[in-house]
Chains A and B, each alone.
Chain A
Amino acid sequence: MHRLLPLVLALAACGHDHGPPHVRKMDRPDGSPALRGGGTARSPRIANYKIDVRLDAVRHQLAATETLTWTNTGASAVDKLPFHLYLNAFKNESSLFMRSSRGEMRGAKASDSAWGWITVDSLQIAGVELASKLKLVAPPDETVAELPLATPIAPGQTVDINFKFSAQLPEVFARTGYKGEFNMVGQWFPKIGVRTGPPGLEQWQCAALSANTEFFADFGVYDVKITVPSTYTVAATGVLTQASESPGGTRTFDYHAEDVHDFAWAADPFFNTRSQDVTVDGGPPVHVKVYFRNEQLDFALRHLQAGVGAIEKFSADFVPYPWSQMTIIDPPIDAAAGAGGMEYPTLVTTEGDSVFIRPGMKFPEYVTVHEVGHNWFQGILASNEPEEAWMDEGINEWADAHVMTDLYGARTSGIDQYGFQADIVALRNTIVDDPSSLPQPIATAAYAFLDTTAYAETTYDYTMRAMLTLEHEVGSAKFMAAMKAYAKAFAFKHPTGADLFATLSHELGDDFSWFFGPAFQQVGGAKYKIHSTACRQAHDIRGVVADGTGKKTRTETEAPDTGTWVCEVVVENTGPVHVPVDVELRFADDSTQRMHWDDKGNGTFERFTVEHSTKLAAVRIDPDNLEMIDSPLHHAYRVDGEGAASLRAGARIASWAQTLMQLVGP
């Protein structure tokens, strides 16, 4: 026994053994243009980057040069250039990100020794060294630095800005960093802000990185050369145009991407790949490739199928996927919490790989569909995420629900395992707080939310529910067509919430201000409930009544019960969001009758009175489950209470208790 124990403990401690890294077979160029089918620019291409970066795989450091070619497309001159230096979010505890996240993101914790940073070693414009002129915008946070310009950049003028920078990747806990030999490199280079606003009144949008904010940048062309040890495989945004051996046992991979607003990449010595082509709108295929480690093969194939299906469905529902390549990275299992579940143009990271996630549980597929979906709402439409995160996250959630249903079935898109079935939307709604309890409206800037929970539940879930409710109100086909029109009109144009509402109103032929305002700009959601029910025997009017020219008293004998029942039901909605709903009454003889409450905010309650041969047995608000904002728990009411289900539940609890009793007792 004493010899067995150390062996068992050693076995328990062993991880997945990949052996030592070895020199990989050289990747071949993708051979396809960055844009599917080639063609002209889809976007204004305001910010174009040429970057040459070398990864020190031992110290997880980057050394790079960058040329940013930026054009002033506004009507006013520019006298300063702000740059995101996102990696400084991980520099120390004084950064806005570390303060607002408290060093934690989605369950992954920051290392207390493996910090990250980025340093601009040189910044030149027209050969003049200007690095010393860079000023932090909001110290002690160092994620945004501004360069004042001695000579403003006139409207229409283009400027080349040359950087030399070095960076340290943190141990990954919030999207970017390393874990072991795996490196996920996102938001890693000096990135210029975005100018928005009416012509002549443009302002810079260059928000510091906080726990809840994501990213906003201009479209452009990216040419990135990545040099890594020869034992490493690289996955990156765009298409691989060249791969070559470089001195010192390294390789250089040249990537090219067009009409994208970001560039991310990963490097790992143990990646394998699987790929599949998917045809979109009858044109050249999209090449979908998943990167994974050996032990994750089964899950990688699930992610690949989900990615292929998602590209097909999103392309059909909105606009065709414009690029040639989609890269899906399935991070190593010990890096998944930090690096998984993030989107970049043409590249996503996924997660959900676990023995506890059985094949019938669609969580891994859901993550992949969600991240791929971002390529439409963040990648193509590209709203200002710090200001209007819901336009990406929330609308994506709504779209994901459709794609998951199309791919995995209406009742089984969330789970179909161990006898349990549930669609993904219903499952999500059960685990988040009721929208009526959320402290801030949907249209809140990401950085202004009370905390991460409020941000996540409002931006993701509540937005999805609001969109679904409106869709059910107007009809799915009509709503999908309206959203398709919105996507086509605003592809590559950074639409705002106002643009979305205006498009929907136009396409749906109704103002909908009675819905948009309360749902997106107020707190409180909807609170539908059956206020009261009452039934009495029907009879002619009793009491003093007119009798010809005089009066008489009509008694019970003269106005006997007719045998039918007059039932009154009062339903209420005390929340600010109002949606027309049906109310179904069920009677003791099992017959039903439907009423309609045209609830558009013109009152908080509605009274229905009906006469029926039997008493009222139950009431159901929204029997077709069209209204998604409210929890459905109080939408149904049984007039006479019934304890059978509670007794069955009590019996089950007692059975468990008896099992425990038999463990502790005789």
Chain B
Amino acid sequence: MARKSGSLDLRLTLGDLVSSGSRALTRYTGTLLTVFVVQSLVAIATMLACAVVLATVFSHLPMWDEAVDGDLVSLVTCLRFAKLNLVACAGIGFGALLLWQLASWFLVGGVYGVLAQRPEGRAETARTFGASGTATYLAYARLALCSIPGYLVVLFVFATCTNAVAGRIEHALTVGDLVVPALVMIVPAAILIHLLWTVSDYARVELTLRHDSHDPSSVMTYLRACGFVLRRPLALIHASLGWLAFAAITIGYVYLAAGHPMYGAEGAVTLFVIRSGVSLARMALRFAVLAGQVDLGGTRPPPPRRVEIKADAKPQ
């Protein structure tokens, strides 16, 4: 491997990144499962809270059973009746999402730390996970603030494109009429948000890898990550593969589950197991993508080292 200006000139390929992901999955299954369990606990708490909110109004009304089992008329009747309860459930869901967002800064910091430092053994892995997650938490929080303008641009692009094609979509008579306007509406914003998410990922990688040695600023890290991602299309392609697989699993589950309602306690358990399996598969995909990103991020030249001037330093 040649060295250039202090950086490793490793030209990783897509295959290298994918292999890296599968290696990480087999090596750090426990870490993956830990994060998954935490997420599942948040989801279970959401489920129980929503169930209580709905049961307060529906436990004595048999029509609700028909609604949950898929009868359209019963469903709409019940939803119209219990609008406030539904708003409460939406609030619970939003709260869970917010809580997860805050928790994920620690968790993803821990995951990046483990994937970067490659500790051996459970104790070492746990220590690395905790230390890395703690060390980078505030940096990730600052990074999230840096990314807000980008998301505002995404919203603007989406709104503009939607406005441009709204009439066409409203008046579409066939699926063919809908395709181009739908693409115009979605694709620009989708490309932009994919770019921003990938930039955030690589910014986090750099913050994790260089935190101790370089203490890079979140803003500069974000901007450097923008430049890196734009110069290295492999980063976008690798991340998009992950999202495509994510979408495929989700769509596949929805397709297979449609028309196969599961009634009663046995059905609920089966459904829980299936949904958990789908969530775990998606999380494993993300984990594998993160592993590839750590490897690719590691090939970047380090950021400029911060210079600390001390008052009593003696000139050489």
With an 8 A cutoff between CB atoms, is A546 at the interface? no
Partner pick for A654 among B35, B43, B81, B107, CB 8 A cutoff: B43
With an 8 A cutoff between CB atoms, is B24 at the interface? no
Contact A662 B65, CB 8 Å, known A355-B172, A355-B174, A427-B72: no
B62→A636 contact, CB < 8 A: yes
Q: Which of A416-434 contact B (CB under 8 A)?
A: 418-422, 426-427, 429-431
B177→A355 contact, CB < 8 A: yes
| A: number of interface residues (CB 8 Å) | 61
A residues in contact with B175, CB < 8 Å: 355
A666→B290 contact, CB < 8 A: yes
A657→B181 contact, CB < 8 A: no
A residues in contact with B173, CB < 8 Å: 295-296, 298-299, 333, 353-355
Contact A642 B59, CB 8 Å, known A662-B282, A662-B283, A664-B104: yes
Q: Which residue of B lies closest to A586 (CB)?
A: B62
B residues in contact with A631, CB < 8 Å: 77, 81
A650→B54 contact, CB < 8 A: yes
B residues in contact with A415, CB < 8 Å: 72
Tell me the complex Cα distance, A661–B275, Å: 14
B39→A420 contact, CB < 8 A: no
Contact A658 B61, CB 8 Å, known A633-B77, A649-B51: no
B residues in contact with A645, CB < 8 Å: 58, 64-65, 67-69
B279→A657 contact, CB < 8 A: no
Q: Indicate the size class of the contact surface on chain B.
A: 35 or more
Partner pick for A334 among B46, B171, B181, B264, CB 8 A cutoff: B171
A residues in contact with B268, CB < 8 Å: 644, 647-648, 651
Stretch at the interface among B8-16, B94-102, B212-220, B222-230: B94-102
Q: Which residue of B lies closest to A433 (CB)?
A: B80
With an 8 A cutoff between CB atoms, is B48 at the interface? yes
Partner pick for B286 among A9, A334, A666, CB 8 A cutoff: A666
> Can you list, as one digit per residue, whether each of A580-611 has a CB less than 8 Å from chain B (1) or not (0)?
00000000000000000000000000000000
Q: Which of B19-48 contact A (CB under 8 A)?
A: 35, 39-40, 42-44, 46-48
With an 8 A cutoff between CB atoms, is A39 at the interface? no
B51→A643 contact, CB < 8 A: yes
Q: Which of A9, A15, A634, A658 has the most CB of B within 10 A?
A: A658
B181→A427 contact, CB < 8 A: no
A residues in contact with B43, CB < 8 Å: 654-655, 657-658, 661
A residues in contact with B62, CB < 8 Å: 618, 620, 636-638
With an 8 A cutoff between CB atoms, is B18 at the interface? no
Q: Which residue of A lies closest to B85 (CB)?
A: A646
Partner pick for A12 among B42, B100, B108, B184, CB 8 A cutoff: B184
With an 8 A cutoff between CB atoms, is A544 at the interface? no
B107→A653 contact, CB < 8 A: no
Partner pick for B250 among A618, A643, A659, A664, CB 8 A cutoff: A659
Q: Which of A324-367 contact B (CB under 8 A)?
A: 333-334, 353-356
A residues in contact with B48, CB < 8 Å: 650
With an 8 A cutoff between CB atoms, is B87 at the interface? no
A residues in contact with B69, CB < 8 Å: 645
With an 8 A cutoff between CB atoms, is A575 at the interface? no
A658→B279 contact, CB < 8 A: yes
A665→B108 contact, CB < 8 A: yes
A654→B184 contact, CB < 8 A: no
B77→A636 contact, CB < 8 A: no
With an 8 A cutoff between CB atoms, is A641 at the interface? yes
A664→B172 contact, CB < 8 A: no
Number of A-B contacts (CB under 8 A): 202
A residues in contact with B47, CB < 8 Å: 647, 650-651, 653-654
Q: How distant is B76 from chain A, measured CB to nearest CB, in Å?
A: 4
B residues in contact with A641, CB < 8 Å: 55, 59-60
With an 8 A cutoff between CB atoms, is B146 at the interface? no
Tell me the complex Cα distance, A298–B174, Å: 10
B residues in contact with A650, CB < 8 Å: 46-51, 54, 89
With an 8 A cutoff between CB atoms, is B272 at the interface? yes
B residues in contact with A356, CB < 8 Å: 172
Tell me the complex Cα distance, A361–B276, Å: 34
B265→A632 contact, CB < 8 A: no
Q: How distant is A73 from chain B, measured CB to nearest CB, in Å?
A: 48
Q: How distant is B233 from chain A, measured CB to nearest CB, in Å?
A: 13
Partner pick for A662 among B39, B58, B177, B264, CB 8 A cutoff: B39
With an 8 A cutoff between CB atoms, is A128 at the interface? no
B180→A12 contact, CB < 8 A: yes
By secondary structure, the B interface counts as helix
With an 8 A cutoff between CB atoms, is B165 at the interface? yes
Q: Which residue of B lies closest to A656 (CB)?
A: B93
Q: Which residue of B lies closest to A648 (CB)?
A: B68
A633→B61 contact, CB < 8 A: yes
Q: Which residue of A lies closest to B258 (CB)?
A: A419
Partner pick for A657 among B52, B58, B93, CB 8 A cutoff: B93
With an 8 A cutoff between CB atoms, is A11 at the interface? yes
Q: How distant is A351 from chain B, measured CB to nearest CB, in Å?
A: 12
Tell me the complex Cα distance, A356–B169, Å: 10
Tell me the complex Cα distance, A655–B51, Å: 13
B77→A8 contact, CB < 8 A: no
Q: Which of B260-282 contact A (CB under 8 A)?
A: 264-265, 268, 271-272, 275, 279, 282
A655→B275 contact, CB < 8 A: yes
Tell me the complex Cα distance, A656–B47, Å: 10
A664→B76 contact, CB < 8 A: no
B residues in contact with A334, CB < 8 Å: 167, 171
Contact A638 B70, CB 8 Å, known A657-B96, A665-B108: no
Tell me the complex Cα distance, A339–B49, Å: 48
> Can you list, as one digit per residue, whether each of A606-633 has a CB less than 8 Å from chain B (1) or not (0)?
0000000000001010000000000111
B50→A422 contact, CB < 8 A: no
With an 8 A cutoff between CB atoms, is A13 at the interface? yes
Tell me the complex Cα distance, A644–B54, Å: 10
Tell me the complex Cα distance, A12–B185, Å: 10
Q: How distant is B302 from chain A, measured CB to nearest CB, in Å?
A: 24
With an 8 A cutoff between CB atoms, is B199 at the interface? no
> Can you list, as one digit per residue, whether each of A429-447 has a CB less than 8 Å from chain B (1) or not (0)?
1110000000000000000
Tell me the complex Cα distance, A647–B246, Å: 27
Q: Which of A431, A641, A645 has the most CB of B within 10 A?
A: A645
Contact A662 B286, CB 8 Å, known A11-B180, A427-B72, A653-B46: yes
A residues in contact with B141, CB < 8 Å: none
With an 8 A cutoff between CB atoms, is A660 at the interface? yes
A residues in contact with B96, CB < 8 Å: 654, 657, 661
A638→B61 contact, CB < 8 A: yes
Tell me the complex Cα distance, A333–B61, Å: 43
B residues in contact with A654, CB < 8 Å: 43-44, 46-47, 50, 93, 96
B residues in contact with A661, CB < 8 Å: 39, 42-43, 96-97, 100, 104
Contact A662 B279, CB 8 Å, known A12-B181, A355-B172, A646-B64: yes
Tell me the complex Cα distance, A665–B98, Å: 10
B residues in contact with A664, CB < 8 Å: 97, 100-101, 104
A residues in contact with B70, CB < 8 Å: 419-420
B164→A632 contact, CB < 8 A: no
With an 8 A cutoff between CB atoms, is B139 at the interface? no
B72→A420 contact, CB < 8 A: yes
Q: Which residue of B lies closest to A293 (CB)?
A: B173
A residues in contact with B192, CB < 8 Å: none
Tell me the complex Cα distance, A642–B58, Å: 8
Tell me the complex Cα distance, A632–B71, Å: 14
B61→A665 contact, CB < 8 A: no
B residues in contact with A651, CB < 8 Å: 47, 51, 268, 271-272, 275
Q: List 21 A-B contacts (CB under 8 A).
A: A13-B168, A333-B171, A355-B173, A419-B258, A421-B72, A431-B76, A620-B62, A631-B81, A651-B47, A656-B93, A657-B43, A657-B97, A658-B40, A658-B43, A659-B279, A660-B93, A661-B42, A661-B97, A666-B108, A666-B287, A666-B290
* Beyond A334-B171, A646-B59, A654-B50, 4 additional pairs, beta carbon < 8 A: A356-B172, A415-B72, A419-B70, A665-B107
Please list the 3 inter-chain residue pairs (A to B) with the smallest Cβ-Cβ separation, ordered nearest first.
A641-B59, A650-B51, A665-B104
